[in-house]
Amino acid sequence: MNYQETVNWMFQRLPMYQTQGATAYRKDLTNTILLADHLGHPENHLKCIHVGGTNGKGSTSHMLASILQEAGYKVGLYTSPHLKDFRERIKINGKEVSEEFVVDFIAENKVFFEENNLSFFEMTVGLAFDYFKNSAVDIAIVEVGMGGRLDSTNIITPLVSVITNIGFDHMQYLGNTLALIAQEKAGIIKHNIPTVIGQYNSETKAVFEKKAALEESPLFFASDQITEDFASPLNGNYQMHNKKTVLQTIRVLQSLHLYNITEENIATGFLKVVENTGLQGRWQQLQVNPLVICDTAHNSDGLKSVLDQIQQQDYEKLHIVMGVVNDKDLAEILPLFPKVATYYFCKPDIPRGLNANILREKALDYSLHGNAFHSVSDAYNAAKKNSTKSDLIFIGGSTFVVAEIL
């Protein structure tokens, strides 16, 4: 198989949470451990930073990678989901894994994958760890896929565990209270390994403190300890919290005396994060006159922050291109959207995409008015056609909507 055929096989044959949802969720690490054993446990050869949380995992991971790259290290970066190309998930110093490596890895292990019915995410984690080991990276930044305790990435023993924040998302798998969700996220806290917490409240703090005490893990609350700030092209208001989390993680890493990271490396790493890592879709400005902003925020916490920032912008009229997945709790997110806006409802081009007409009907219950369109591009083109130079167009509601625009 060539690269495109290989990727098609990965997407179609094996369950993939990104497109299929619940049927792809695995409730234990049995298959991941089986795969790691099959590959010779590449994760044991890696020095890692493990990044979990509800929102901000991707931004935090990319900023950490950028700073370490500026310090002169060979940095592996594993994140999910991708926006356009599968290879975005696996990078070294901002360069995506080669098509050849993906093709060869799948070909060499295809029989094993089929015999053991491995999920898309399980084999992708195996591919990333194998690639990082073979490439002899100095450090790997590994983003949790979902949850933490039972996530396929949780076979690593990191140098530092990072939990950005806790919010309501994937509640059918992780629990319906912040404390229950925090327990799942806290599953990445390891014995004697330092843990950095980004944002917290009294409910989640108690969970983290209990788990850290049990594991004898030194615990750092970034929001309490970090007062410094650094310039960054990531202009979302929520990045303030992520930057504190990143800086606290770097301070912990510096204290381990394994890496030489200067203040200049930190400042330049924050400033060049997009250039160094290729991060996209975070309060990203696509054009001016009219101003067009896209953001991948898709749960209530993330959307609230983004929508609050939209209201702070100067514009004459607001146009919102919106699509969601079919398992999204609309009663949780639709009340957050402004009523004074024109909506362009669309279905992201994946099996999990919610029909645009259904979304439009549900939105009417919250006095959100607009038309349904056959595709994301049709919706976006209509928004541009109906806008003047002084308007603002926002594109969001789902990672997949942003992916189609980019």
At 374, give phi and psi (nearest 5°). Answer: -70, -25
- Residues 55-77 have a mean pLDDT of 97
Kindly state the DSSP code that residue 244 receives in the 8-state scheme: H
- Residues 93-112 have a mean pLDDT of 97
- Residues 296-318 have a mean pLDDT of 94
- Residues 305-311 have a mean pLDDT of 96
Residue 23 pLDDT class (50, 70, 90 cuts):
very low
Which H helix or E strand runs over 337?
Answer: none
325 by DSSP, 3-state: which? strand
Nearest to 402 by CA among 373, 371, 369, 379: 379
Contacts of 220 (CB under 8 A, 6+ apart): 194, 195, 196, 197, 248, 251, 252
Here the tokens at position 405 are: 């625009």
Low-confidence winner among 7-21, 223-237, 241-255 (lowest mean pLDDT): 7-21
pLDDT at 175: 53
Task: Convert the pLDDT of each residue in 130-158 to its tens digit.
Answer: 999 999 999 999 999 988 899 999 999 99
| 19 pLDDT higher than 60 | no
Could you count the other beta carbons within 10 Å of the beta carbon of residue 4?
10
Q: Among all chains, which residue has been given the structure tokens 């050849």?
A: 100
pLDDT at 24: 45
Here the tokens at position 157 are: 């023993």
| 117 pLDDT higher than 60 | yes
| 70 pLDDT higher than 90 | yes
How far is residue 383's CA from residue 315's CA, in Å, rounded to a whole number? 14
pLDDT at 384: 98
| 174 pLDDT higher than 80 | no
pTM: 0.92
Q: Is 315 exposed, middle or buried (0-12, 13-18, 19+ CB in 10 A)?
A: middle
Q: Among all chains, which residue has been given the structure tokens 């950028």?
A: 66
Beta strand 139-143 with 75-78 is parallel
Q: Among all chains, which residue has been given the structure tokens 């983003």?
A: 143
What is the crossing angle of helices 120-134 and 3-13, to 10°? 140
Start-to-end C-alpha separation, the chain: 27
Q: What is the mean pLDDT of the chain?
A: 93
DSSP 386-405: T--TT-EEEEESSHHHHHHH
Task: Convert the pLDDT of each residue in 205-246 to its tens digit.
Answer: 999 999 999 999 999 999 999 999 999 999 999 999 999 999
Question: Which one is predicted more confidently, 172 or 311?
Answer: 311
With b meaning 16 or more CB within 10 Å and e meaning fewer, what string describes 177-203?
Answer: ebeebbbbbbbbbbeebbbbbbbbeee
How far is residue 272's CA from residue 267's CA, in Å, rounded to a whole number? 9
- Residues 115-136 have a mean pLDDT of 95
- Residues 54-69 have a mean pLDDT of 96
Here the tokens at position 211 are: 């788990």
28 by DSSP, 3-state: which? coil
Low-confidence winner among 31-35, 164-168, 240-244, 384-388 (lowest mean pLDDT): 164-168
Beta strand 392-396 with 318-322 is parallel
pLDDT at 12: 77
| 168 pLDDT higher than 80 | no
Which H helix or E strand runs over 1?
Answer: none
pLDDT at 351: 86
Beta strand extents in 43-103 (DSSP E only): 48-52, 75-78, 90-92, 95-96
pLDDT at 146: 83
